[in-house]
């Protein structure tokens, strides 16, 4: 390059609910593109599980890096804190560039909250041009997919670039992530093998990558796995694709190449119910697949129809049974609380869970196990006005932070530990619906205790039930009693 390299800080804002056990792959892919162009990059992940930072801490570390440009990824639950962070970064004098799914959906919003420009869509094809333009080395008008506010206050937005050739992208710059900040690298590495999802689920906006399914070649994917195994000693790989099994022939080729290579790593993936059959499962197991995540979402046929899921209840039951029979752990995910669901509809989901329980080692209640109306989704479009949650991510009233002993009962801290979405009450659930959601979370929690020693399991159940009983009749006593049992809460 004729000009000296730029110093680019790539930032993931703080989350109060979601620690990162592995480095954020999206930022590391952008870093790899920038490094290939000769620029110097730094990773500042506020959520690294062993190095968590608040916004002030992020600002201090970024300041020590002395960046020329600062890029921040925006996801909807974190944008309020991200905008506060932008205010702390502004005095550093480096232009602020926003990207990520929230910035793609609402590009004008970051411009109104302290950012100088926004990359809309996939960042790898344009990130070099974008940071150089913000540093004064190019025209913003020439950067595909860039949005910015001009001198007259008008927002300008360039046409997006074509999707990138995924095989041509460099592999994530894992060397930028401090291994001490995350779980051991040998345990798990994230790998992207495809982008896009052809589904039209009513609760999903399509994110950065759109509806068209695009994929890396099997040879390219396996080459990365073998290189990670050789250089890092990686033993396990988590594919982050939305639906890895959609292209069945490619999945079979990946399995064949891994078997030929001696199955050097185990791996897990997420895919659609309708993309797997017993033959595919047998091949995946032979190639080292140990876990498959399925978004079953509901046991109500009416809900499956209204959210446009392509599978039936029978298909969901069968794929979980077949997956377990192949020696692969089926992980199943559900979303509770669609605005039309009443207790009988939720009972249908509970009935499906009871059927699946013998085949599922653990249920995984998460923040998204209760419906969150993200912008750009059909659910948001149809119900924001009716329930008054338009722009909820910018206000404090719709918070769903993880519950704390000072504000929640012990059993609530246990059930909703990843985020108390019921507190946000997006859809104003009536009491019978709230009770049914609680019953389903309780079922999942008790199911997940099955693998623990008998006495430990009995103690946890007794504490849980005592907390429920006391919180209903003597909430003050429950807080005093369980507030002094912090050791048991963490156990």
CA 303 – CA 314 distance, rounded (Å): 15
Residue of 127, 96, 140 whose CA lies nearest to 31: 127
Contacts made by residues 89-92, CB under 8 angstroms, sequence distance 24+? 89/11, 89/59, 89/62, 90/114, 92/59, 92/62, 92/63, 92/67
Between strands 289-297 and 266-271, the pairing is parallel
| Block residue for tokens 């080395």 | 137
Q: Which backbone phi and psi does 339 adopt, to 5 degrees?
A: -60, -20
Look at residue 370 in the predicted model and tell me its pLDDT.
Answer: 94
Residue of 397, 391, 399, 388 whose CA lies nearest to 112: 391
CA 93 – CA 288 distance, rounded (Å): 49
Look at residue 488 in the predicted model and tell me its pLDDT.
Answer: 46
- C-beta separation of 316 from 292 below 8 A: no
Look at residue 207 in the predicted model and tell me its pLDDT.
Answer: 62
Q: Which residues contact 46 (CB under 8 A, 6 or more apart)?
A: 11, 12, 13, 14, 15, 52, 53, 54, 55, 57, 58
Look at residue 457 in the predicted model and tell me its pLDDT.
Answer: 94
Could you read off the pLDDT tens digit of each residue along the chain, which spans 491 residues? 468 999 999 999 999 888 999 999 999 999 999 999 999 999 999 999 999 999 999 999 999 999 999 999 999 999 999 999 999 999 999 999 999 999 999 999 999 999 999 999 999 999 999 999 999 999 999 999 999 998 888 999 999 999 999 999 999 999 999 999 998 865 788 999 999 888 889 999 876 677 788 999 999 999 999 999 999 889 999 999 989 999 999 999 999 999 999 999 999 999 999 999 999 999 999 999 999 999 999 999 999 999 999 999 999 999 999 999 999 999 999 999 999 999 999 999 999 999 999 999 999 887 779 999 999 999 999 999 999 999 999 987 777 888 888 789 999 999 998 888 899 999 999 999 999 999 999 999 999 999 899 999 999 999 999 999 999 999 989 988 887 654 444 44
Look at residue 480 in the predicted model and tell me its pLDDT.
Answer: 87
Q: Is 90 left (phi over 0), alpha (psi -120 to 50) or beta?
A: alpha
The pTM of the full predicted model, rounded to 2 decimals, is 0.93
Between strands 155-157 and 146-149, the pairing is antiparallel
| Block residue for tokens 């595919």 | 280
**Domains of the chain as residue ranges with CATH:** 7-157 (3.40.50.2300), 166-404 (3.20.20.70)
Look at residue 375 in the predicted model and tell me its pLDDT.
Answer: 95
| Block residue for tokens 């530990």 | 417
Residue of 38, 43, 39 whose CA lies nearest to 25: 43
């Amino acid at each position: 390059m004729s000009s000296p390299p730029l110093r680019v800080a790539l930032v993931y804002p703080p989350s109060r609910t979601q620690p990162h056990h592995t480095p954020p792959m999206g930022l590391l892919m952008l870093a790899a593109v920038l490094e290939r162009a000769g620029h110097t990059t730094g990773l500042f992940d506020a959520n690294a599980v062993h190095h968590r930072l608040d916004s002030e801490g992020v600002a201090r570390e970024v300041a020590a890096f002395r960046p020329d440009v600062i890029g921040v990824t925006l996801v909807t639950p974190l944008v309020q804190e991200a905008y506060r962070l932008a205010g702390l970064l502004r005095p550093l004098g480096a232009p602020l560039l926003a990207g990520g799914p929230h910035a793609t959906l609402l590009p004008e919003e970051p411009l109104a909250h302290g950012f100088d420009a926004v990359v809309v869509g996939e960042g790898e094809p344009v990130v070099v041009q974008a940071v150089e333009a913000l540093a004064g080395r190019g025209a913003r008008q020439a950067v595909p997919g860039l949005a910015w506010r001009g001198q007259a206050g008008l927002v300008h937005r360039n046409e997006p670039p074509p999707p990138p050739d995924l095989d041509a992208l460099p592999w994530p710059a894992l060397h930028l992530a401090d291994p001490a900040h995350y779980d051991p690298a040998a345990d798990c590495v994230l790998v992207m093998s495809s982008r896009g999802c052809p589904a039209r689920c009513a609760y999903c906006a399509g994110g950065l990558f759109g509806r068209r399914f695009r994929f890396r070649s099997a040879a390219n994917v396996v080459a990365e796995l073998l290189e990670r195994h050789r250089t890092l000693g990686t033993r396990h790989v988590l594919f982050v694709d939305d639906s890895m099994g959609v292209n069945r022939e490619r999945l079979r080729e990946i399995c064949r190449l891994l078997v030929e290579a001696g199955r050097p790593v185990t791996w897990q993936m997420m895919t659609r119910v309708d993309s797997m059959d017993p033959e595919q499962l047998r091949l995946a197991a032979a190639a080292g697949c140990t876990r498959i995540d399925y978004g079953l979402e509901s046991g109500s046929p009416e809900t499956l129809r209204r959210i446009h899921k392509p599978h039936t209840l029978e298909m969901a039951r069968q794929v979980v049974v077949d997956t377990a029979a192949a020696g692969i752990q089926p992980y199943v995910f559900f979303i509770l609380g669609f605005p039309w669901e009443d207790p009988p509809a939720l009972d249908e989901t509970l009935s499906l869970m009871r059927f699946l329980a013998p085949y599922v080692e653990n249920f995984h209640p998460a923040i998204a196990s209760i419906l969150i109306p993200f912008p750009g989704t059909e659910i948001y479009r149809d119900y924001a006005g009716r329930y008054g949650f338009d722009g909820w991510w910018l206000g404090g009233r719709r918070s769903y932070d993880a519950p704390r002993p000072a504000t929640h009962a012990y059993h609530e801290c246990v059930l909703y530990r990843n985020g108390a979405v019921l507190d946000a009450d997006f859809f104003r659930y009536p009491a019978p619906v709230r009770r049914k959601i609680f019953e389903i979370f309780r079922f999942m929690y008790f199911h997940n205790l099955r693998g623990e020693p008998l006495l430990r399991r009995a103690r946890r159940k007794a504490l849980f039930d005592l907390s429920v009983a006391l919180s209903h009749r003597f909430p003050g006593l429950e807080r005093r009693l369980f507030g002094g049992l912090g050791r048991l809460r963490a156990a």
